Amino acid sequence: MAFIKGEDVNIGIARETVRGTAETPSIWLPGRTPTGVRQVVEKAIIKETKGTGMASQGSVLVQKRAEGDLEFNVRNGSIGMMLLSLLGKVTTSTAGSAYSHLFEILTGNPQYPTLTLGLAQLGMQDYAYRKCICTQLEVRTPVDDLVNATASFVGAEENTHADYTPSFPSTDYFFRHYDVVIKIASDVSGLAAASALGVKEFSLTLNNNGRVNQNIGELNPSDVLGLMVEVGGKLKLDYTGETYHDIYAAGTYKAMSITMTRSDVALDTGVYPKISFVMPKVSFENLNPDRPIDDIVGEEMDFVAHYDEDATYGIQATVVNSIANYN
C-alpha cells in the first residue's frame, strides 16, 4: 500500500488565457498546511412511496464543483494571482528593471479572471481544477510569525492530470512582521507623513462573494462569478489614550494603509519587494477593551472599508516584484 505525506501535496496557479481552458501552473505556492482544495459532489437522496420500509431508494449526482482553501506565507509573486482573481483588474507599470502591479475592483463585469489550480500529489494522482476564482483572502500579521494568509477558491470541476513538477522560485519573497507598517490618516494624502501604529496583531479580509453559476442541464457549473467586494479587519493595540476610543465614538472615517516592504532585498536601485493595501474610507465599527489584571491594557478595533466618492475607489493593492505581467 502506498502512502503520501502532507508536505508532498502542493498547489500551483495559472491565469487562464481562455476562460475555462486549463493552463499549466506558472507559480507554485508552498502551503503552511496542505491545501483543502478538492472536488465537491452534491447528491440528491431518492425518497419515494414504494412501500419498502427503507428511508431511501438511491442517490444521484446533481452537481460537481471544486472548492477549498490554502494557508500560506504571503509572498510578493504568488499573491498577485490571487489578487487578480479576487479583485478582477490589474494595471502593470515598470519600476526600474522590476514591475509594479496595481490591483483594483473590476466593475461592470462579474466575470473576474479565472485561474487553473494544479494539485500535485507526489506518487499519487494529480488534478487540475479549471475556471477557479479566489473568493476570499485573509491576511494576518502576528508579532511572532511571518505574514501569512488563507485564500479560499471555488471552481467548476476536477480533471485528472499527468504528474506535475512543482518548483518554488527563490524570487517569491515572504515578509516578516517587522516588514509591515500600518498607518491611518484623515485622507490618503496624509498617509505618507503619518506615524506607524503600534499594532500587536492585525488581520485584513477581502471577500468578493464569488460563487459558481449553475444552470439546469449542467452537472458542472458553466461559470464562476465574483460579486460585491467586502473588506474589513481587526487591529489590536496597547491602550495609550483616548485617540481610538474618540475616533470610534465619533464615527469618524479614516484612510488606512498596510505596507509590507522587504528593504533587505533590492530588485533594482531603490526598488524592493512590496505589497501594499490602501483604503481611503475606513470606519471603526467596534472597539473592545482588553483589561487583564496582570498585563498591559489593550484594545481591539474592527474596521470596515467603504467606497470613497472623492478617491473613486474603496481599496487598491500594489505589488512590486519581478513578474512582467499577470495577463
Contact in structure between 185 and 196 (CB atoms under 8 Å)? no
Task: Give me the DSSP letters along 204-269.
Answer: EEEE---EEE--TT-SS-SEEE----EEEEEEEEE--SSHHHHHHHHT--EEEEEEEE-TTS-SBT
Is residue 84, in this structure, part of any structural domain at all? yes
| In the chain, % of residues over pLDDT 90 | 96
Summarised one tens digit per residue, pLDDT across range 48-93 is 999 999 999 999 999 999 999 999 999 999 999 999 999 999 999 9
How sure is the predictor about 1, in pLDDT bands with cuts at 50, 70 and 90?
low
DSSP state at residue 324: -
Task: Give me the DSSP letters along 171-205.
Answer: TS-B-BGGGEEEEEESSGGGTTTSPPP-EEEEEEE
Contact in structure between 261 and 305 (CB atoms under 8 Å)? no
Summarised one tens digit per residue, pLDDT across range 165-188 is 999 989 999 999 999 999 999 999
Is residue 164, in this structure, part of any structural domain at all? yes
Looking at residue 181, what is its pLDDT?
A: 97
Output helix, strand, coil percentages for the chain, rounded to the nearest 5.
Answer: 10, 50, 40
Q: How far is Cα of residue 275 from the mean position of the Cα atoms in its chain?
A: 13
Contact in structure between 224 and 132 (CB atoms under 8 Å)? yes
Summarised one tens digit per residue, pLDDT across range 227-262 is 999 999 999 999 999 999 999 999 999 999 999 999
- Looking at the structure of the chain, the number of domains it has is 1
Which grid cell sits at 83? 489578487
Is residue 327, in this structure, part of any structural domain at all? no
Q: How far is Cα of residue 49 from the mean position of the Cα atoms in its chain?
A: 48
Is residue 227, in this structure, part of any structural domain at all? yes
CA distance 122 to 3: 10
Contact in structure between 24 and 16 (CB atoms under 8 Å)? no
HSE-CB of 160 using CA atoms within 13 angstroms = 3
What CA–CA distances, in Å, run from 298 to 71, 82, 276? 28, 33, 26
Sign for the CA dihedral angle at 207, 277, 141, 120 comes to: positive
Is residue 52, in this structure, part of any structural domain at all? no
Q: Evaluate if residue 2 carries a pLDDT over 90.
A: no
Summarised one tens digit per residue, pLDDT across range 314-327 is 999 999 999 999 87
CA distance 223 to 113: 11
Which grid cell sits at 196? 506607524
CA distance 79 to 283: 26
Is residue 33, in this structure, part of any structural domain at all? yes
Summarised one tens digit per residue, pLDDT across range 108-153 is 999 999 999 999 999 999 999 999 999 999 999 999 999 999 999 9
Find the domain containing 260 and state its range: 6-42+61-321
Is residue 51, in this structure, part of any structural domain at all? no
Is residue 54, in this structure, part of any structural domain at all? no
> In the predicted model, what is the mean pLDDT of the chain?
95
